[in-house]
Chains A and B, each alone.
Chain A
Amino acid sequence: GAVVSQHPSWVICKSGTSVKIECRSLDFQATTMFWYRQFPKQSLMLMATSNEGSKATYEQGVEKDKFLINHASLTLSTLTVTSAHPEDSSFYICSARDGGRDLPEAFFGQGTRLTVV
């Protein structure tokens, strides 16, 4: 149980285009989803927290107009990188928390490697 599917696993796009990343909880209801970004040899940096049906809460320094997050259902959250630039190239990982569990553990998707050329 507690499987999170993230898609796509990798994507290459041209500078100025937008990219959408999907994060789905397959066998549980994800009341909260987290989006992280990870640069090479660095740890995971929290970008935003999203709760189903409400606006995402962004961390300081993260542009909410550039990184659009939608959590329309209890099993799906999307991150759209708008007008992507080479400096947005990174490893993006989502995680989801199962609202039915006592443990505040978050289950991770496989990650998406974004390369902007």
Chain B
Amino acid sequence: GQNIDQPTEMTATEGAIVQINCTYQTSGFNGLFWYQQHAGEAPTFLSYNVLDGLEEKGRFSSFLSRSKGYSYLLLKELQMKDSASYLCAVVGRITDKLIFGTGTRLQVFP
């Protein structure tokens, strides 16, 4: 089976740094995605990791450890517009499906 867990909610202050964790147990692994989703809208792509290590893209970075079944999304210099849900999604090697985690709702305060 597949199990992808994230914290349900997080809060942070504008200008701060926040780390959103994702742990997964899947049947095979072919990459992990992070998406951002504002209420009532479709998810938008943030990052993709298939090898261990850190991928940096502007204010957002994503890390992957395949041996630990663990990833995190790091958001720096938080802005009010970063208030959204952040979804971790894993692609299975055998099924090739994109399965989403529980999602983390981040609220940024001034």
Contacts and interface: CB of A to CB of B under 8 A. Distances in A.
Interface of A: 6, 32, 34, 36, 41-46, 49, 91, 93, 95, 97, 103-111, 113
A104 B42 contact: no
A93 B103 CA distance: 16
B48 A43 contact: no
Contacts of B95: 49
Nearest to B88: A43
For the complex, would chain A's binding face be called helix, strand, loop or mixed by DSSP majority?
strand
Nearest to B30: A104
Contacts of A43: 85, 87, 100-103
B91 interface: yes
A34 B41 CA distance: 17
B98 A46 contact: yes
Contacts, number: 52
Contacts of A6: 42
A34 B42 contact: no
B43 A104 contact: no
Interface string B20-50: 0000000000110100000011111100100
Nearest to B102: A43
Contact of A42 (B40, B97, B99, B103): B103
